[in-house]
Amino acid sequence: MPVSLDNLLVVGISSRALFDLETEEAIFRTQGLDAYRQHQIDNEHEILKLGAGFALVKALLRLNALTENRRFVEVVIMSRNSSETSLRIFNSIKHYGLDITRAVLSGGASLTPYLRAFNVSLFLSLHEEDVQASIDAGVAAAILYQKPENALAELDQIRIAFDGDAVIFSDESEQIFQAQGIEAFERHERENALKPLPEGPFARLLKALSYIQTHFRAPDGRAAPIRTALVTARSSPAHERVIRTLRAWDVAIDETFFMGGVGKSEVLAAFRPHIFFDDQPGHCDRAAPLVQTGRVPVRSAPGAKTPDILPANG
């Protein structure tokens, strides 16, 4: 009987996001595919350095070791590499002791059709085109910034921080703010305070994390191995709709910060997440030197075409 991934948190990650492949990417861009292929074959026993998504992946996989006969997380390597250039990736996975057994090696073709096939809940990559296509397909995805110096520090908990609008929630209210200003936005939120916000691209991921938390939350008050935070530019009176929405979803976020326009970076540095997801490039640029950051692109307008760029190193 085939294995089902339906009730698992499935993270798809590109090889370049899991490992540091910037030298190889430069070879591909400047010398072409043949030079890249030969470099990977010649160096397939050279272990790769850690990439921007490594700490998060390692921490999430650790959840599977906390209970007997129960898995919560699966990680799938999703790369535009071909199988002949992938041995270095698998050798590095084995070297670091990562429990990763599944891979999509598309040989330059788009990865998007395989996201649903593997029930991917979150896709992480350094290639914007693949991330954009994932978001347009309705799958949570983020473009990873290069890791900050402290990204690989060991933490007792998995810590994940989210922006609100256009990430956990839809960008419906954000569009009102952008088009009509803060007064119209606050009026809209007051008038719709009892109406739950529509789901954004990361709502499914947040709900999956919340479900895992409930499994580990002990009656004696011991902390769950996952801790979440909402770090949003919203403030009163726009806070009420957020609180009521999470209540309607039966989701509890551990820490919530209504910033009201104050910069997020210092709060994020204090929370120390394995990753922070935000849709605003400015917020991401300021956070990235302090904490691992993933930018969530806005969903493309209907009919928009994603450029057909085929990185070898995705």
The b-or-e profile of 250-284 (16+ CB within 10 A means b, else e) is ebebbebbbeeeeebbebbeebbbbbbbbbbeebb
Question: Left (φ > 0), alpha (ψ -120 to 50) or beta: where does 177 sit?
Answer: alpha
Which strand (E) or helix (H) includes residue 283? helix 281-287
Q: 154: exposed, middle or buried (C-beta count within 10 Å: 0-12, 13-18, 19+)? A: exposed
Distance CA 13, CA 127 (A): 11
Q: Give the pairing type, strands 141-144 and 122-125.
A: parallel
Q: Does the annotation mark 163 as catalytic?
A: yes
The one catalytic residue in 20, 130, 136, 163 is 163
* Residue positions annotated with a catalytic role: 163
